[in-house]
Structures are given as structure tokens and as C-alpha cells.
Amino acid sequence: MNDSTNKPQLPDWLGTIAVFDTETTGLNLSQDRIVTAALHRMNSNGEILPGGYDWVLNPGIPIPEIASKVHGFYDKHVQSAMPASVGVPEIVNAIAACFAEGIPVLAYNAAYDFTILHYEALRNNVAPLTFGTVIDPLVIDKTIDKYRKGKRNLVSAAERYQVELLAAHTAKDDAVAAGHVGLAMLRYFSAQEKPVVPFPDSAQSLHDQQAKWADEIEASYAKWRQTDVPDYKPVFGWPVKNLS
């Protein structure tokens, strides 16, 4: 990352954030499993702070080749890894500790990672997270830069906000890159003279706004899908999808 000289200063409530990412066996939010995960803390200049975590789990099911080709972990790599029954509680507890300290946890497309984690917790007899505040650059980007053309994945967002992404689809590098993207995006948001929506005055305000924005985004997407699939149903909920 470039240094912070001449960049807009972020408010104190963004002084320390945690960044979180998972790589999984697939995209089914209630059935697929975590293979790797990362949780690291950084300051508002994007500098990684001590005390981070990186996990490699044995998911307890075969990893489909299509998923392995994305994140690089095949069955042979996880045979002796930490079982999910041990790793999932560790992940939940580490995130809960951030929330307990009042540290926002940032995840790009947070509803994916946190919904996967929610069902992993239930599957492993762990109480699901009680949420503090979450930051989701994907939801923010779709709200403050709604009409920008092109993809909205982490790679494209990194390009848009001039963030170096060294190793896409590894949990730590994706988490760190998402943190840098999120901080750059929030600087851009805070510096707008006429923002589409007001810049929040607290982490809780941002969290609450994102929950509203996420449902608006889902409703808009469902309306578009229904032009071709009339019975398409929106799936609301953020940062955990309401799948039941």
C-alpha cells in the first residue's frame, strides 16, 4: 500500500479493524465447509498488527476439484489438518473477541463468509456468533458507486482503488487486500462532497446502514432476475443470510 500522506483521515472508530476471509469447499451457504480462514487486525493505514490467525481445516468431506483449483487446497493437503470440530470454535471465538473489544470485522461479501460460518457453527455444536459491527466493502461499493460498470469482485475492486492483490484466493491475502480496499473505499466515501448516502458517524451506524443497503441490493437483483425467472425469490439478511 502507498503511505497515507495527503489521504483523507478516517475517524477514530476505524483506528483498528479486523479483516476476515474464508476459502471453502463450494458456494452452498448452508452445506459447504471451510477449508482455510484468516483473521488479522490492521490499523487505519493498512498496517498489519500482531495477533492474527490463519487456519487450515479438514472439512470432513471431499473438496471438489473446482474449489481446489480456486484456493489451491486438495484433499491431500488437509488430511492431517485441524478438524473442523476444533477449528470452527476457534474461528468463532477469535471473531467474538474482536467484537467484544469493539473492533469492526471487515469481510468482502460478508454475507458469504458469515453465513458459511453460521452453518459451520451449528454443524459443530457451537453457538453462532453474536454480532458486533461488520464492514462489507462489496455492499458499500454497490451503494456509493452504484452505476459503475464491470465486475464487483475483490480483484476488480482492488484495481478500482489501486490496491495490490498479491495472491488472490488465499484467505490471508484476500482478507488483507479486502481490508486495504475497504479502507481506501471509506476514504473515498468520506471525502465526497455530495455523497449518495451520508457518511456514518460510528461503526454501529455503518453496520446498520449496510444491513439496509444489502436488502435493497438483494431486492433490486431479485426484480432483475424475475424478468427471466418469474418465481425467483430474494434471500434477505446481512451479515447472515436468512436461508430458512
pLDDT digits (tens, 9 = 90+) for 149-207: 999 999 899 999 988 877 666 799 899 999 999 999 999 999 998 999 999 999 999 99
- Over residues 26-55, the pLDDT tens digits come to 999 999 999 999 999 999 999 999 989 999
Task: Note whether residue 65 is domain-resident.
Answer: yes
Which residues does 189 contact at the CB level (< 8 Å), separation at least 6? Answer: 140, 144, 195, 199
Name the residue type at position 152: R
Q: What is the mean pLDDT of the chain?
A: 94
Task: Note whether residue 239 is domain-resident.
Answer: no
Task: Note whether residue 116 is domain-resident.
Answer: yes
Domain count, the chain: 1
Taking the C-alpha atoms of residue 183 and residue 45, their distance in angstroms, rounded to an integer, is 8
Question: Confidence band (pLDDT; 50, 70, 90) for 1?
Answer: very low
Q: Which domain holds residue 120?
A: 12-225
CATH number of domain containing 170: 3.30.420.10
pLDDT of residue 60: 96
| Element spanning 84, H or E | helix 84-100
* Cis amide linkage into residue 128, ω under 30° from 0: no
Taking the C-alpha atoms of residue 86 and residue 36, their distance in angstroms, rounded to an integer, is 13
Task: Note whether residue 181 is domain-resident.
Answer: yes
Task: Note whether residue 40 is domain-resident.
Answer: yes
Task: Note whether residue 235 is domain-resident.
Answer: no
pLDDT of residue 2: 44
Task: Note whether residue 244 is domain-resident.
Answer: no
In the chain, the N- to C-terminal Cα span, in Å, equals 41
Backbone angles phi, psi at 55, to 5 degrees: -120, 140
Taking the C-alpha atoms of residue 78 and residue 223, their distance in angstroms, rounded to an integer, is 41
Task: Note whether residue 3 is domain-resident.
Answer: no
